[in-house]
Chain A
Amino acid sequence: MTAQTNQSWAASRLPCLASLCACLNARTMAPGGSYFAAFPFLIAVLAAFLSLSGIVLAVFYNPWHAFASVQFINRDVNQGWLIRTYHATGTTLIFALAYLHLFRSILIRAYRAPAEFSWLMSVKLLLVLLLTGWLGFVLTGGAAGHLSLVNAANAALSLGGLPGAVGLWFLGGPAGQGTLARLEVFHALLGISLLLVVWAYFASRKAAAQVEPAKAVAFYPYYLAQYFAALAVLAFIFVLLGFYAPGVSGVAANHIPAGGLALPLGAGVPWYLAPAAGLLGVFPTAKLAVAAAIVAVVLLYALPWLDRSGPDGAKGKVYCFFTWVLALDVLGLGLAAAGVLPFSPVLAVLFTGWFFFHFLVLTPVVTAMEAK
């Protein structure tokens, strides 16, 4: 077969091709993997897709006239509106998948040894996404994004100490015109670095996988077919959202340019930032909010060690129940931040409290109890 000779011709001159083929054909993967296990792959595809559409946007984006340049992309660049749809809808989907992936990892306790590193990378993925997403939201130059930027800059100014210094280094002082120029660069770098994070996740997941060799299957063709099907479903959802609900990824107030006299009340943040905004929003001072954010991040990272059940502790019903409650809690934080719940401010405090309670108290206690 010529194809085969060609392949060995290329492979002998570029040995990594041979190892790639070997890798795709090696029987190392679990038989009958769930579609949920394909989420990190979908996240990787979306990260690449967002980088690509982001490069095109960066060609036309102008941080000194942010709002006008976004309008220009929408109105005057060929397919510009479609590229923006790509970028916005891709953002919504990558966040949705990241949240679901984290939820499932907690639910099935995918963080346990020896897969701690995969968990650390999953958390890192969400954190990088949150920062990148926030920057993208600010870059639009809309009134809502600008308000959020001004709040962040004011927080950094009032913080003092190391966190304040870091914040001011990041933002380059109070929110001014040049701020967006540096944020554009950070946005792009962080966005592209997502690919690295996903790669580290895959590498560590592979190392940690424990598959019975007799039952293992190869990536090709089994997982290729599954990932392809997962991509098709993703594309379908993408089209539904992107073409018929283009507003889901943004906030209405961002249609108004920043710097108008009237800052819109209740400008809000996009849905994917809402849980974080809800959590930070309950703290009266910037210092407390930063401390809370640090604690929340540390708790998430520490989950493999907060779980006291040991390496082969059985999955308990109570643990599952509280994981679902945690999901509702995060959802509630987002809704409270959007102000759609009655008594939102009070509920936000309750939900925030529960979030910390879940990791600090419930996780160790419940896992220890159920391990017996």
Chain B
Amino acid sequence: MRRVFALTAILTILGIANAHAEDTLSPLHFQSQGPLGTIDKAAAQRGYEVYKSVCAGCHSLGKVHYRDLEALGLTPAQAAGEALAAGGTLNSPIKGAAPLNMGGAIPPDLSSIAAQRPGGPNYIYNYLTGFGPAPAGVTLLPGHNYNAAFPGGQTAMPDVLHDGAVTYQDGVQPTKAQEAADVAEFLAWAADPNLDARHQIGFRAIIFFAFLTIIAVASKRKVWRTQA
């Protein structure tokens, strides 16, 4: 029982620490990571801007709908506005299938990419900032670019982010690293939109069931003590 208390105490402390954690780029930290992580909605909203203005040209996001954006803190009217601006409705996917084919490489749908790649948002960040000149001795395939994070080192995707590739409403400086981190958090949310609910419900459930366990065991002992 003491262990149960200790565990809940530790989890509480972690939770508080987490709530105050700031989204920092060095060292790279995503608020959504860790056992008590929550989606950083401001970052994810900025990430949506990046997706919309940069990535959507090539990548679909077929499982996420405009209505889902309300979970990121957009009002229903704002979400409807986004949908209308894209010629869709609240129920349209943010972007359907992209039939684009770039020299044999097809840009994957990004809905679940953060769950599909080991490392999740960290990998996406590293991938988006991992472009650079090929080191000596590496010959690039036609239509490919060097990328330090990509398995094999060369990817058909070009280096698309740069300082000021988008303008942020909230005044955050759109550096390349910031854009990459924001879109990574957005994609982490897209891949696991229930993260916040899971951690919230889980936290309450742990406390509740710890309580239930204690009284159930105590009551069992009491009942058995009456045994003749």
Q: Interface residues, chain A, CB within 8 Å of chain B?
A: 31-32, 71, 74-75, 81-82, 85, 217, 221-222, 225-226, 228-229, 231-233, 235-236, 238-240, 242-244, 246, 252, 255-256
Contact = CB atoms under 8 A, between A and B. Distances in A.
A238 B209 CA distance: 10
B56 interface: no
A222 B228 CA distance: 12
Contact of B223 (A225, A231, A243): A225
A225 B220 contact: yes
B35 A31 contact: no
B224 A225 contact: yes
Name the 5 nearest CB pairs between A and B, nearest first. A243-B202, A232-B216, A225-B223, A229-B220, A225-B220
Nearest to A224: B223
B137 interface: no
Given A75-B193, A222-B224, A252-B118, A229 B198 contact: no
Contact of B202 (A222, A244, A255): A244
A324 to B, nearest CB: 25
Interface string B167-195: 00000000000000000000000000110
Interface in B91-127: 111-112, 115-116, 118
B216 A229 contact: yes
Contact of B63 (A71, A221, A225): A71
Contact of A228 (B4, B111, B209, B216): B216
Given A217-B227, A239-B205, A244-B202, A228 B118 contact: no
Contacts of B209: 232, 235-236, 238-239
Chain A contact residues: over half helix, strand or loop, or mixed? helix
B35 A233 contact: no
Contacts of B116: 255-256
A71 B216 CA distance: 37
Nearest to A218: B227
A217 B116 CA distance: 54
Interface string B189-228: 0000110011101110110011011001101100110010
A244 B18 CA distance: 15
Contact of A226 (B201, B202, B224): B224
Given A235-B213, A238-B209, 18 more contacts: A71-B63, A71-B111, A71-B112, A75-B64, A75-B68, A81-B198, A225-B219, A225-B220, A225-B223, A229-B216, A229-B217, A232-B209, A232-B213, A244-B35, A244-B199, A244-B202, A246-B198, A256-B116
B15 to A, nearest CB: 12
Contacts of A232: 209, 212-213, 216-217
Contacts of B115: 255
Given A71-B112, A242-B202, A81 B220 contact: no
A243 B198 contact: yes
A127 to B, nearest CB: 31
A228 B63 CA distance: 41
A233 B216 CA distance: 9
B194 to A, nearest CB: 4
B213 A233 contact: yes
A223 to B, nearest CB: 10
15 contacts: A81-B194, A81-B197, A225-B223, A229-B216, A232-B209, A232-B213, A233-B217, A236-B206, A236-B209, A239-B205, A243-B205, A243-B206, A244-B35, A252-B118, A255-B112
B199 to A, nearest CB: 7
A134 B180 CA distance: 39
A221 B193 contact: no
B227 A240 contact: no
A50 to B, nearest CB: 19
Nearest to A240: B206
Contacts of B205: 239, 243
Nearest to B208: A239
Contacts of A228: 216, 219-220
A77 to B, nearest CB: 11
A235 B198 CA distance: 16
A31 B205 CA distance: 33
Contacts of B213: 229, 232-233, 235-236
B136 to A, nearest CB: 29
A238 B213 CA distance: 12
A231 B217 CA distance: 10
A278 B213 CA distance: 36
A24 to B, nearest CB: 14
Contact of B227 (A71, A75, A222, A243): A222
A32, A75, A256 — most chain B CB neighbours (10 Å): A75
A246 B198 CA distance: 10
Contacts of B35: 244
B197, B198, B203 — most chain A CB neighbours (10 Å): B198
